[in-house]
Every structure is written in C-alpha cells, then in structure tokens.
Amino acid sequence: MTALPQDNLSALYPAHLAEIEKRSADALAACGRDSLVVAAGLPHGWFLDDQNYPFKTNPHFLHWLPLADAPGSWIVCTPGTRPKLVFLQPRDYWHVAPAAPAGYWTEHFDIVTIREPEQARVHLPKDPSRCAIIGEANATAGDFAPDNPAAALDLLQYRRALKTPYEITMMRVASRIGVHGHRAAEKAFRGGLSEFDIHCKYLEATRLAESQLPYGNIIALDAHAAVLHYMHHDRNPPVHAHSFLIDAGGQFHGYASDITRTCASPDAGEFQALIDAVESAQQGFCAKVRAGQSYPDLHRHAHLVLMQAMRHQGFVTCSPEAAVAEGISSTFFPHGLGHLIGLQVHDVAGFARDEAGNTIPKPEGHPYLRLTRTLEPGMVVTIEPGLYFIDMLLEELKAKPAAKNVAWGKVNAFRKYGGIRIEDDVVCTEGDPVNLTREAFAATASPQH
Ligand code: GLY
Ligand code: MN
Ligand code: MN
C-alpha cells in the first residue's frame, strides 16, 4: 500500500518542535520575559444562552501540538527546560471529554492533566509578569491573563510564514482531504444537484463537519459565481446549470488547504475556453513561486497576463498595458492573487516587513492584496487568479472612458456564467515550487487512496 503523507509525522516532529522552541526563545528575548505561556482558549457562548459557538483553538497553541480540541489547556515553554502541557480533561458526563494525550509528540512534553480550568493556575509559572502569555482575553486562569506582548507576537507571526517540513506534511494531508471533497462536488454538479446538496456531498467526502472547515464553502452555480464570497447554498437547483465555481478547503490538525476550481457544462464551450485560458495563466503564476520573487510584482504581472487572455478571447480591444492602466483589469480581476496559508487560511503576517512589527504597504490601486512580502523557502502561498462578470463593477466601468475598449456584447453574454477562479496552494522551496493542490489531485486519482 502507498505511504500516506501523515505516516511521516513522527519522524518530522522533533525538528519542528526544536524550531518552535528556538522561535519562542527568540520571542522571549525580544520582549524580555522568561517563559512563553500559550492558552488553547475557551469556547465563546451565545448571547443570553447556555450554548457555545464551535471552539476554535488559538493557532499559536496548534503550532506546538496537533491538539485541535483541547479547550482550557496550556503550553509552558521556558528555554532550557522541557515544554509542559497542562491538559484539561474535565470530569463531565454531559459531553465527550478530550481523549488523553497519545501519539508521537507526547514523549517530548511534561504533561499534567487537570479536571477544571481553574486548576491550570498552580501548574503555570509563579510570576505572570515574567511571562509572555499568548491567547484570547477569556482564556484567563486566576491572575494569569493573556497579554500578547507585541514584541513576541510580531516575531512569532513573522516566522510562522516559514513552514517546517512537519507543517508542509500537515498541509499535504489537508490538501488531500479538500481534493476528496472537490471530486465529489464536481460529480454532484454534473449530476444536476443544488448548491446545498453539492455542499453536503463535499462534507460527506471530506468527513469534516461544517465547523471544521477552514472557511465557509463557496459553492456557486451560474451567475452566483460573480459573488466573490458567495456562501448562500441555494436549496433549489437551476433547471440547467452552465457553470460551477467551488472554493472549499480541507483541514488537518488546524492546518488549512484553500482550493478553487471552476467547471463548465458540456454545452458551455465558450466559457470552457476562458476557463482554459485562466488555468494556463494560473499555472504560469504557480511556476513563479520562487525564492526572491516579490509577491506584489507577481500580482501585477497577473493583471497583465489576464488582460492578454481577455484580449485574445475578444472581451477587450486595447493592449493589456492600457487595460491595466485604465482600470479594466480591476473590473474583471478585483481581488488579490493570493495570500499566505497555514494554521489560518489567510495566514498572519502577510504584510510584515520584519519581525519587529514593521509592514510593507499594499501597492496603490490594489486594496485587496493580502501579501506584500518577498517569497522565501518555506512559505506556502495560494495562487488564485480569477475573471468575473460582476454587475456592480461592470456598471461602474461602463461609465468610464475606458468602456470603449470593452466588447460589451461578449461581456454581457458571459454574465450568466458568473466568473472563474482557479486556486492552488504552492510551497516556495530552494528550488522548484511544490504545488500541494496538483499533487493531491494526482495522488487521489485512483480509487484506492
Ligand atoms: N477561500 C478564500 C480565499 O480564497 O481566499
Ligand atoms: Mn485563497
Ligand atoms: Mn479560496
């Protein structure tokens, strides 16, 4: 049987932990404290109710451990000593308590189990003022309240952009999980199902509950694809759907994948030709995920290439340079080329210039770009160009002089398709990029996986 990516986690974990300990020691030096204390967090309750929102673990906690369901737990890192896990396993016959720690990581920690959140305090360092306490405000144990010192957090978040091989493996698994869902969703589209039913097929294939998705599924038939974050899930199928855009990810121990595909029905050949052009452009951008590449430059390059494609397909009559300068490209491609991804789907520190909290501004005219850094080995980014027919933006363009450079008959004929986005997650390495999404589609092509 073929090895699965996760088979390798135990071998990769010690080096990952050593890296996290090194970063923590540097963060403590930056803020002048002795111990880093990370709260997993506690659930948030509904207003005037006795129920909670789904629990979302502090990503800084998940960076240490694959424990996505351990509310009330803490990690204590004091450089020079073994890290400690204060693990909350409540005595509770109402709910399923988190399982006792098990697996490849446990031997690296001193673990104490507590039964009530308040019991954490006696296992935390004596003097909170000597600790950098990372967590949400509600995750307080006695006098131990998260203070999130900026000097520590800026350093940790800046470096979180650089994934260890252990983290890349986590993201490989998240990619495979997402791809299982994408395959089931495309089949459901071809079978004529509604957006809601396609969504259900996606959940079934990924074995993820909705609250475990890295972000709300975007599942759009026809003109709905023109709403960039369409999360409505229409219960009624159209009589005949012409196009399908799905932006949906997988999740593994808190690590995300973020995948978009667009398909046309067999009778929508004209739309398929535009999908093919975006796909070919997207593959060109993925090939440029290399150390030293400025991401804003790549984003600007994408505007030009997409306008070349639109000219070639007869939507735009001017040069790509003119289409960019006159704002035509921003009408059809009104979002950023991509973002960092990891423990958060839009991962932190996309604008960080350094680990001291300075930032790199977005290029003028590109307000939705989420990544202004230069690529380095270990970064994982999405590459997600798109072309859309968004009524609101088309109306604005019609009112500008640049409108004369647009073939409106052709544009209007494509409104019914909504739009196209193709999104892969790509690792920047010392050499060639590694496309986690394409790799996952290739690995899951045969039924035995
Ligand atoms: N799924 C949201 C995004 O692609 O950024
Ligand atoms: Mn994305
Ligand atoms: Mn996406």
pLDDT digits (tens, 9 = 90+) for 403-432: 999 999 999 999 999 999 999 999 999 999
- Closest atom of ligand 1 to 260 CA is 4
Q: How far is the CA of 171 from the centre of ligand 2 (A)?
A: 14
- Closest atom of ligand 1 to 249 CA is 1
**pLDDT (tens digit, 9 = 90+) per residue, 18-57?**
999 999 999 999 999 999 999 999 999 999 999 999 999 9
**pLDDT (tens digit, 9 = 90+) per residue, 234-292?**
999 999 999 999 999 999 999 999 999 999 999 999 999 999 999 999 999 999 999 99
What is the per-residue pLDDT for 449?
39
Which contiguous run of DSSP H or E holds residue 251? strand 251-252
Task: Taking each helix axis as running N to C, give the angle between helix 165-190 and helix 195-206, from 0 to 180 degrees, rounded to the nearest 10.
Answer: 140
Closest residue by Cα to atom 3, ligand 1, is 258
Mean of pLDDT values over 213-232:
97
Q: How far is the CA of 8 from the centre of ligand 3 (A)?
A: 27
Across the chain, how many H-helices and E-strands are there? 12, 15
Domain residue ranges in the chain = 5-160, 165-442
Q: How far is the CA of 186 from the centre of ligand 1 (A)?
A: 18
Please provide residue 16's backbone torsions phi and psi, each rounded to the nearest 5 degrees.
Answer: -60, -50
The CATH number fitting domain 5-160, selected from 3.10.20.600, 3.50.50.60, 3.40.350.10, 3.40.50.1100: 3.40.350.10
The ligand 1 site (C-beta within 6 Å) comprises: 215, 247, 258, 384, 423
Structure tokens at 170: 């986590």
pTM higher than 0.95, yes or no?
A: yes
For residue 1, pLDDT over 80 is answered with no
Q: How far is the CA of 57 from the centre of ligand 2 (A)?
A: 21
Mean of pLDDT values over 300-328:
98
CA distances from 360 to 16, 34, 138, 353, 420 (A): 28, 31, 32, 5, 29
Q: Which residue has tokens 């121990």?
A: 253
What is the per-residue pLDDT for 205?
98
Closest residue by Cα to atom 4, ligand 1, is 258
What is the per-residue pLDDT for 445?
81
| Residue of 175, 202, 215, 381 best suited for mutating to test ligand 1, as the one with most atoms within 8 Å of CB | 215
CB–CB of 125/77 below 8 Å?
A: no
Mean of pLDDT values over 152-159:
98
- Closest atom of ligand 1 to 247 CA is 1
For residue 448, pLDDT over 50 is answered with no
Which contiguous run of DSSP H or E holds residue 286? helix 269-286
**pLDDT (tens digit, 9 = 90+) per residue, 227-249?**
999 999 999 999 999 999 999 99
- Closest atom of ligand 1 to 229 CA is 2
Q: How far is the CA of 256 from the centre of ligand 1 (A)?
A: 11
* Rounded Cα distance, 10 and 142, in Å: 35
Q: Is 73 exposed, middle or buried (0-12, 13-18, 19+ CB in 10 A)?
A: buried
**DSSP per position, 182-208:** HHHHHHHHHTT--HHHHHHHHHHHHT-
- Closest atom of ligand 1 to 338 CA is 5
In CATH, 165-442 is 3.30.60.50 = no
Q: How far is the CA of 344 from the centre of ligand 1 (A)?
A: 11
Q: How far is the CA of 437 from the centre of ligand 3 (A)?
A: 12
Cα atoms found within 13 Å of the Cα of residue 99, Cβ hemisphere only: 7
- Closest atom of ligand 1 to 421 CA is 4
In 3D space, the residue among 395, 141, 87, 420 whose CA is nearest the CA of residue 261 turns out to be 420
| Residue of 384, 422, 424 best suited for mutating to test ligand 1, as the one with most atoms within 8 Å of CB | 384
Report percent pLDDT > 90 for the chain.
96
Pairing assessment for the beta strands 110-114 and 84-88 based on DSSP bridges: parallel
For residue 3, pLDDT over 90 is answered with no
